[in-house]
């Protein structure tokens, strides 16, 4: 196994997730990408599910978002503005921060951005029905542009609910999401990602949220477990890009070792 030192960029992310700028290094899951984008063309909400460590964040960052930014057309519109967030322990604050990001809120590179937008947006989202739409309309972000809310690690909401903290903020966050899901006038789409097993807990954790639960269950795309075929294909990909050369004996050893030891690969997708 010989690394190619002529390559300046290290293609191996270790346990870190792929970022948008790593799109050229991401390999595989082409069918999952096509399935997700096809579903996004039909509905304004998609839930991406997978086991822990299966690479949900990496798929979104390095496969889905770059494809949208390259001009994926939905309803005749090819331009996209994307607000990405982790709900965390303050989901409304996280949503406000995502909507206030410079690259999202600016219409042109020279636009000045109010440093107090996060606080302003947080108040709107907390107190105003259809607060997301109000923000987008006020800043003229919807004209000739698709909007994507990319909500990663939706599992955060389960932890928040279990602790019984900030239940009002959690309810408001889900209400704002349902408002977006229920409307079809504005070109606003939402992708949420979460662990597969959490989809079975939705009804018990969030009773009364039928729109949200039905949307998650009805519009699922499942990211499969990383397989031996995926592993060997990734090795071939890195070789084709010149990042590293593997001796044939080494590749055979990897394939046989994984097969005979029944190595569990989901948590090793990035590795």
At residue 70, the pLDDT reads 96
What digits encode the pLDDT tens for the residues 31-89? 999 999 999 999 999 999 999 888 999 999 999 999 999 999 998 999 999 999 999 99
At residue 143, the pLDDT reads 81
Mean pLDDT of the chain: 86
Share of the chain above pLDDT 70, in %: 88
Query: pLDDT tier at 4 (50, 70, 90 boundaries)?
Result: low
Indicate whether 214 pLDDT > 70. yes
Indicate whether 269 pLDDT > 90. no
Query: pLDDT tier at 107 (50, 70, 90 boundaries)?
Result: confident
> Which of the two residues, 6 and 85, has the higher pLDDT score?
85
3-state secondary structure of 237: helix
Indicate whether 226 pLDDT > 50. yes
pTM for this entry: 0.86
What digits encode the pLDDT tens for the residues 131-186? 999 999 999 888 889 999 999 999 888 877 766 655 889 999 999 999 999 999 99
Paired tokens of 53: 């460590």
> Which of the two residues, 123 and 247, has the higher pLDDT score?
123
């Amino acid at each position: 196994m010989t690394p190619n030192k002529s390559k300046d960029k290290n293609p191996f992310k270790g346990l870190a997730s792929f970022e948008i700028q790593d799109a050229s290094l991401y390999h595989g899951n082409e069918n999952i990408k096509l399935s997700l984008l096809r579903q996004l063309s039909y509905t304004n909400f998609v839930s991406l599910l997978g086991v822990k460590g299966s690479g949900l964040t990496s798929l979104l960052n390095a496969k889905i978002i770059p494809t949208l930014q390259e001009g994926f057309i939905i309803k005749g519109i090819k331009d996209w503005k994307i607000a990405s967030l982790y709900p965390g322990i303050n989901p409304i604050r996280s949503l406000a921060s995502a909507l206030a990001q410079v690259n999202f809120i600016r219409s042109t590179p020279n636009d000045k951005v109010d440093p107090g937008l996060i606080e302003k947006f947080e108040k709107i989202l907390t107190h105003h029905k259809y607060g997301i739409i109000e923000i987008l309309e006020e800043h003229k972000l919807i004209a000739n542009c698709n909007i994507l809310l990319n909500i990663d690690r939706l599992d955060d909401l389960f932890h928040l609910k279990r602790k019984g903290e900030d239940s009002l903020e959690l309810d408001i966050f889900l209400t704002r999401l349902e408002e977006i899901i229920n409307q079809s006038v504005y070109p606003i789409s939402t992708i949420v990602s979460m662990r597969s097993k959490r989809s079975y807990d939705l009804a018990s954790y969030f009773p009364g949220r039928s729109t949200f639960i039905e949307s998650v269950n009805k519009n699922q795309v499942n990211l499969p477990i990383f397989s031996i075929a995926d592993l060997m294909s990734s090795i071939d990909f890195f070789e084709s890009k010149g990042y590293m050369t593997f001796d044939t004996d080494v590749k055979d050893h990897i394939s046989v070792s994984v097969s005979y030891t029944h190595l569990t690969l989901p948590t090793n997708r990035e590795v």
